[in-house]
Structure 1
Amino acid sequence: MLNLNNTDSNSLQDPVSLSVGGEVYTTTLDTLTRCRDSMLGAMFTGQIPLLRDRRGNFFIDRDGKVFRYILNYLRSNSLDLPDDFKEMALLKREADFFQIRPLLDEIRRYELGPHGAARRSAVLNADADCQVRILHFNLKRGPENYELRSCAVRVYTANVFCTSCAVIESLCARFSYRAQEKVLAPQPSQGKPNYLRMEWVPRPEDLPQDLYEKHRYQELTVVSSSRIPDASTSSGIPDTRTFMEEMLKIAMAEGFRLDSVFPDPSDILNSRSLRFIRY
Structure 2
Amino acid sequence: MLNWKNPEHVQDPVSLNVGGEVYTTTVDTLTRCRDSMLGAMFTGQMSLLKDERGNFFIDRDGKVFRYILNFLRSGSLDLPDDFKEMSLLKREADFFQVRPLLEEIQRYEAGPRGAGWRSAVLSADVECQVQTLHFNLKRSPENYELRSCAVRVFTANVFCTSCTFVQLLCGHFVYCAHDQAVTPQPAEQRPNYLQLEWAPRPEELPQDLYEKHGFQELMLTQPRTTAEALIADTSAFMEEMLKMALAEGFRVDSVFPDASDILNCRSLRFVRY
Q: Shorter-chain-normalised TM-score: which range?
A: 0.5 to 0.7
> Pairwise mapping of residues 1-279 of structure 1 onto structure 2 (< 5 A)?
37=32, 96=76, 102-108=99-105, 111=108, 116-224=114-222, 235-279=229-273
Q: Is the CA contact (8 Å cut-off) linking 2:125 and 2:158 kept in structure 1?
A: yes
TM-score, normalization by structure 2 = 0.61
Q: Mind listing any 5+ residue stretches in structure 1 that lack a counterpart?
A: 1-35, 39-93, 226-230
2-structure distance, mates of 1:151, 1:206: 7
Flag the 1:112–1:142 CA change in 2: closer, same or farther, 3 A. closer
**Inter-CA distance 276–243: structure 2 relative to 1 (3 Å threshold):** same
When residues 179 and 234 of structure 1 are mapped into structure 2, their CA distance, relative to the original with a 3 A threshold, is farther
Q: Distance in 1 between matches of 2:208 and 2:152?
A: 17
- CA distance 1:191–1:95, change in 2 (3 Å): farther
CA contact (8 A) 1:178 1:218 kept: yes
1:136·1:148 contact (CA, 8 Å) conserved in 2? yes
Q: Distance in 2 between matches of 1:120 and 1:233?
A: 34
The question of whether the paired residues in 2 share the 8 Å contact of 1:156 and 1:200 is answered with yes
Deviation at 1:130, TM superposition (A): 0.6
TM-score between both structures, scaled by the size of structure 1: 0.59
Distance in 2 (CA, whole Å) between partners of 1:183 and 1:245 is 22
The Cα of 1:209 is off from its aligned counterpart by: 1.1
Tell me the distance in 1 between the aligned counterparts of 2:203 and 2:186: 31
Shift of residue 118 of structure 1?
A: 2.6
Q: Distance in 1 between matches of 2:102 and 2:227?
A: 38
Q: How far 1:217 moved relative to its partner?
A: 1.0
Name stretches of at least 5 consecutive residues in structure 2 with no aligned partner.
1-30, 34-73, 78-97
- CA drift at 1:232: 6.8
| Contact 2:178–2:211, Cα closer than 8 Å, also in 1 | yes
Equivalent pair of 1:240/1:270 in contact (CA under 8 Å):
yes
Aligned residues: 182
Letter in 1 for 2:102: D
Whole-Å separation in 1 of the counterparts to 2:99 and 2:171: 33
- SS of the residue 2:192 aligns to: strand
Give yes or no for contact 1:175–1:185 (8 Å, CA) kept in 2.
yes
1:236 alignment partner, SS class: coil
Q: Deviations over 1:171-204 (max 9, x none)?
A: 0000111112111110102310000000001000
1:222 offset after TM fit, Å?
1.4
Between the aligned partners of 1:184 and 1:112, the Cα distance in structure 2 is: 33
SS at 2:114's partner residue?
helix
The question of whether the paired residues in 2 share the 8 Å contact of 1:119 and 1:164 is answered with yes
Give the equivalent residue in structure 2 for 1:5.
none
SS at match of 1:138: strand
CA contact (8 A) 1:223 1:233 kept: no
Taking the aligned partners of 2:215 and 2:174, their CA distance within structure 1 comes to 14
State the Cα distance separating 1:233 from its structure 2 match: 11
Contact 2:116 2:162 survives alignment (8 Å): no
Structure 1 stretches of at least 4 aligned residues deviating more than 4 Å after TM superposition: 109-113, 231-234
Report the alpha carbon displacement of residue 120 of structure 1 after superposing the two structures with TM.
Answer: 1.9
1:85-108 deviation line (CA, Å, top 9, x unaligned): xxxxxxxxx9529xxx63333333
Percent identity over paired residues:
59
